[in-house]
Amino acid sequence: MPTKTPLKYPHRSGNIPAVTHTRAFNSTTAAPPGFIEQLLNKIPLPRWAVYAIFAAGLLLLLVCFLCICVKCCCKGKKKRKKQEEKIDLKGVNGSSTTALVQPDADDLEYGSRDKQKGRILYSLEYKAETSELTVGVKEAAELKAMDLGGTSDPYVKVYILPNKSKTCETKVFRKTLQPAFNEFFKFQIPLAELNESTLVMQVFDFNRFTKHDIIGELRLQLGTIDWNHVIEEWRDLTEASKFEQENLGDICFSLRYVPTASKLTVIILEAKNLKKMDVGGLSDPYVKVQLVLDKRKWKKKKTSVKKKTLNPYFNESFNFEVSFDQIQKVQLVISVWDHDNMSRNDAIGKIFLGCSASGNQLRHWADMLSNPRRPVAQWHSLLSAEQVDNALALKHALKIPFTKKPF
Ligand SMILES: [Ca+2]
Ligand SMILES: [Ca+2]
């Protein structure tokens, strides 16, 4: 009977403990030691060198593995951070997506050094039979960059002075200094009025979360234009005039004065196109009706708050006792405010009427006085609160420096 072990360990054939030991060894790792041994023998390098190479390889693998681990962890963290940012931005404005929000990081002031505002291509056509003026806002070029990225988000506002009964706006063009608007606006204006009117085209830079910046404007005296032809030309924009920089909205109210009863009745009817004051793009307007006498606040009343609207309808009536003597000196201040639950209410716009007023406001006041007992209603464009407060120069409100609010 042939045996297997004597071939391998011939010198220990009779030694039983040694055999049992060998068997135990063989049954578990019998093949590998032989195989590895053979492999190692085949390598033409000293044994220590082989071990060193093996150790170095192992170390290299370990380092690679660690690197991959660290990279994966970092990516995870960044992703989580981005997601948190996204959530935060959504919290600020539910309606806007991050794609829309992110470009606005460069809506910050760019501060161009040169005074070049850019040019605008417009067209004008007047049809006397229908009293219709068509204003074409066609293109703009070389506009001043207002944002950090060296671009602007231009749009154009068009209105006619002195009445400013209607303000039109083009669409906003994102990130360009040469927008092609190609929009046309129609204004109803009789020929007699046309000659005393001024057409204003103002180019603005749109910003999502801050006040829109005016880039420049063009004012055309319509009385100097030859209406026999359609006009189309390029003109340079100029620096915008200090006031009328933004459209704050319009308000309609009626005035009635009964001298025999010393009664002044103000009916706040409605407002339209009010400036957006809240993050959601709306306002919560209410109207304050004040009387100022001898540069002091005298009497004050206010309407209810209309929630989330830019075109509120009030139809609320207020009576004041004002003698015939006082009506000559009194000033009626109408201001529209945005109500806020969490912070101070903001003034949207203001106007004042009285014998010391001017333009449209003076006309309304004079109409009321010359038509006693009859209500006279009229629309008015709101002006900035600063502008009106300055004109009124109230005694108690003499703030030392006049500084324009940031927005
Ligand atoms: Ca902008
Ligand atoms: Ca509000």
Ligand that comes closest to the CA of residue 344 = 2
Using pLDDT thresholds of 50, 70 and 90, give the confidence band for residue 365.
very high
Q: In angstroms, rounded to a whole number, what is the distance separating the alpha carbons of residues 92 and 102?
A: 13
The alpha carbon of 309 and the centre of ligand 2 are apart by a number of angstroms equal to: 10
Ligand that comes closest to the CA of residue 339 = 2
Q: In angstroms, rounded to a whole number, what is the distance separating the alpha carbons of residues 75 and 264?
A: 71
Higher-scoring residue by pLDDT: 391, 199: 199
pLDDT at site 38: 77
pLDDT at site 115: 72
pLDDT at site 285: 96
The alpha carbon of 339 and the centre of ligand 2 are apart by a number of angstroms equal to: 5
How do residues 65-96 score in pLDDT, each as one tens digit? 776 656 654 444 444 443 433 333 333 333 33
How do residues 163-215 score in pLDDT, each as one tens digit? 766 778 898 899 999 999 999 999 999 988 888 899 999 999 987 656 678 89
Q: Mean pLDDT, the chain, as a whole number?
A: 78
Ligand that comes closest to the CA of residue 149 = 1
Higher-scoring residue by pLDDT: 244, 382: 382
Ligand that comes closest to the CA of residue 281 = 2
How many Cα atoms are found within 13 Å in the side-chain-facing hemisphere of 267?
13
Q: Give CA torsion, residues 75, 76, 77, 78, to 10 deg.
A: 50
How do residues 249-298 score in pLDDT, each as one tens digit? 989 999 999 999 999 999 999 999 899 888 888 999 999 999 999 989 99
Phi and psi at residue 304, to the nearest 5°: -75, 165
The alpha carbon of 379 and the centre of ligand 1 are apart by a number of angstroms equal to: 32
Q: At residue 108, does pLDDT exceed 70?
A: no
Please compute the mean of the pLDDT values over residues 120-128 and round it to a whole number.
96
Task: Give the helix ranges, DSSP H, for 179-303.
Answer: 191-194
Ligand that comes closest to the CA of residue 206 = 1
- Secondary structure class of 163 (helix, strand, coil): coil
pLDDT at site 371: 95
The alpha carbon of 207 and the centre of ligand 1 are apart by a number of angstroms equal to: 4
Q: In angstroms, rounded to a whole number, what is the distance separating the alpha carbons of residues 199 and 142?
A: 22
pTM: 0.43
How do residues 34-45 score in pLDDT, each as one tens digit? 666 777 677 777
Ligand that comes closest to the CA of residue 279 = 2
Other CB atoms closer than 10 Å to residue 63's CB: what's the count? 10
> What is the percentage of the chain residues whose pLDDT exceeds 70?
72
The alpha carbon of 281 and the centre of ligand 2 are apart by a number of angstroms equal to: 10
